[in-house]
Amino acid sequence: MLNALIVVWRESLEAMLVIGILLAWIARQPDPAPLRRGLWFGVLAGLGLAVVLGFATFAAQSQLQGEALEAFQVGMVLFAAALIVQMVIWMRRHGRRMKQQLEEQASRSSGAIGIGAITALAVAREGTETVVFLYGLGLGAGGTTLLGVIAAAAAGFALAAMSGWVIARGARFLSYRVLFRTSEILLLLIAGSLLAAGIDRMIGMDWLPSQLDPALLDPFWDTSALLDDRRGAGRVLADFLGYRARPSGILLIAYAAFWTLTLGGLAYLGRVPQHAHAAKAR
Amino acid sequence: MRVLHRLLFIAGLIGCTGIASAAELATYSVVIKDGQIIPARLEVPAGKKIKLTIKNEGPGPCEFENLDLRVEKVLAPGASSFVVIHSLKPGSYRFFDEFHPSTSEMLLIVK
């Protein structure tokens, strides 16, 4: 439940950040009223797109059966994990210059329709990401009810609105940077748990090559005496972070690869581009 | 030529291990009907790879689930599926149909 909340919180905060930047830019324009209408229309259109994608996902799910359904679900879980990593790296790379880029786009676009299109794209992007993440999370953690996910999503949205409002008021104790750094770490951990869920499912369907069996598919070690992943704190860690008391070798390899690539990717691709440094120095 | 040999070798390897694991894999069938899981109790050996085949004989959809093992299978009426479980520890694992949580139960006893 907690991971659904975090995902929705972060995604909504990103969307609100975009809307906030554009609203501030619009307020400085000579004729703000139509632009503002265009912006809110864009918000609605973006949300609409996300909802359509959500329905399409569930429609696809209800059309599929047996192995195809399993493949679709595993695909979605792994896709969600990859998408989280991609999003974190993208924000690390572009987040700092987002304001500047958005304002450039806004001034290049002609009028209300252009503003609406920029907003719609941004909101649709965050919205569709949310749909994919929530779907993957719902499959990842067993026993999640739709109602619980909706409640968590609503709480996440409210939290985003609150933190956005607090930051906009200029609170010193909260900054976007701290919030985004914190959510980055949480999101990457969630991506790791999605990866674990995907691999567990693949093992359950016997899809991994039989050459790996039993050395890499059987449990590699057993820490259930120390921390049982079936109840209590271990259970929370299992659903939230992908902890396994008896991990298969292939899961350990996947984790190692995941964290190496992700942290390496963040260190390498996530660097602030050179010209931004130069611009800052000036 | 060398590539061909290697490919043949790999194909052979896959074939052999495929047959070997298929022969070893102990399969147990589970049927879900009218909100009941049949059998209500299933004994399997510990430390072995097992396969449960699950068939939903209806009338409604079902969700065959165990929280400890993170098994979750949604089945439409008439649909069937399976799950492969690696090396269970001795103990008992409770499976239920999430759509009929009060009437359905299957205890998987691992010895």
Has residue B12 been placed in a domain? Answer: no
Nearest-by-Cβ selection for A219 from B66, B68, B87:
B87
The residues that bridge with B26 in the sheet, in sequence order, are B50
What is the number of domains present in chain B? 1
With H, G, I as helix, E, B as strand and everything else as coil, classify residue B106: strand
Best of B49, B65, B70, B96 to disrupt the A interface by mutation (most A CBs within 10 Å)? B70
Has residue B30 been placed in a domain? Answer: yes
Whether the CB of B68 is below 8 Å from some CB of chain A: the reply is: yes
Best of A199, A213, A228, A246 to disrupt the B interface by mutation (most B CBs within 10 Å)? A213
The CA distance from A77 to A136, in Å, is: 4
- Which token pair is A266? 């963040």
Q: At residue B4, does pLDDT exceed 60?
A: no
Whether the CB of B53 is below 8 Å from some CB of chain A: the reply is: no
Domain boundaries, chain A: 2-281
The CA distance from A248 to B48, in Å, is: 14
**Greater confidence, A210 or A70?**
A70
Q: What is the mean pLDDT of residues A143-157?
A: 82
The CA distance from A9 to A155, in Å, is: 8
Has residue B88 been placed in a domain? Answer: yes
Q: What confidence tens digit (pLDDT) does each residue in A162-204 have?
A: 988 888 787 667 777 788 888 899 999 999 999 999 999 999 8
CATH number for the domain spanning B70: value is: 2.60.40.420
Q: What is the mean pLDDT of residues B2-10?
A: 55
Q: What confidence tens digit (pLDDT) does each residue in B17-56 have?
A: 544 445 568 999 999 998 899 899 999 999 888 999 999 9
B86/A230 touch (CB, cutoff 8 Å), yes or no: no
Q: What is the mean pLDDT of residues B55-69?
A: 87
- Name residues whose C-beta falls within 8 Å of residue B110's C-beta, 6 or more positions apart in sequence: B43, B44, B45, B46, B88, B89, B90, B91, B92, B93
Q: What confidence tens digit (pLDDT) does each residue in A87-136 have?
A: 998 888 887 788 888 888 888 887 888 999 999 999 999 999 999 998 88
Place of tokens 């139509």: A34
From residue A226, give the alpha-carbon distance in Å to each of A32, A95, B73: 62, 41, 29
> Domain of B69?
25-110
Q: What confidence tens digit (pLDDT) does each residue in A230-262 have?
A: 888 888 888 888 899 999 999 999 999 999 999
Listed residue (A147, A113, A4, A123) closest to A53, CA to CA: A123
Whether the CB of B61 is below 8 Å from some CB of chain A: the reply is: no
Listed residue (A129, A49, A150, A127) closest to A84, CA to CA: A129
What's chain B's average pLDDT? 81
What's chain A's average pLDDT? 86
Has residue B40 been placed in a domain? Answer: yes
| pLDDT for res B83 | 92
| pLDDT for res A260 | 93
Q: What is the mean pLDDT of residues A6-33?
A: 90
| pLDDT for res A91 | 86
Whether the CB of A218 is below 8 Å from some CB of chain B: the reply is: yes
| pLDDT for res A282 | 41
**Greater confidence, A230 or B92?**
B92
